[in-house]
Amino acid sequence: MDEAVAWRHMKVAPKDGTRVLVTVRSSEQGPAEVDVAYWARADQYGIEGWRSADSHPGQIVAYADPELKCWMPLPGAGSAPMPEPWDAESGEELFGSGI
């Protein structure tokens, strides 16, 4: 995968309000998915953290840090379709082996 569109660790995600794609971890509510999210400072909607409003019109979704696995920049207009969520089962390592 091209470095410009590769999944990246959440520690290096921009926290300046830039919208990015994130992989939301699978849970009891469903499988892993890709969403558009941005870092928001504390305001009338809650404390600072990752939020999404683009994928759920009229609703602001707040994500806890552990819910998000990784991020990548939004693709340019007219580029490839939405990527699949990063999946550890694919055999590819995202952040190294951890050994």
- List pLDDT tens digits, range 3-42: 556 899 999 999 999 999 999 999 898 999 999 999 999 8
Residue 82 predicted with pLDDT over 80: no
Q: Residue 35 is inside which H or E element, if any?
A: strand 33-40
Q: How far apart are CA 40 and CA 50, in angstroms?
A: 6
Cβ neighbours of 19 (radius 10 Å)? 15
> Quick one: 22 exposed, middle or buried, by C-beta within 10 A (0-12, 13-18, 19+)?
buried
Q: How far apart are CA 46 and CA 9, in angstroms?
A: 24
Q: Is the dihedral of CA 21, 27, 32, 33 positive or negative?
A: negative
Q: Where are the domains of the chain?
A: 3-75
Pick 74 or 56 by higher pLDDT: 74
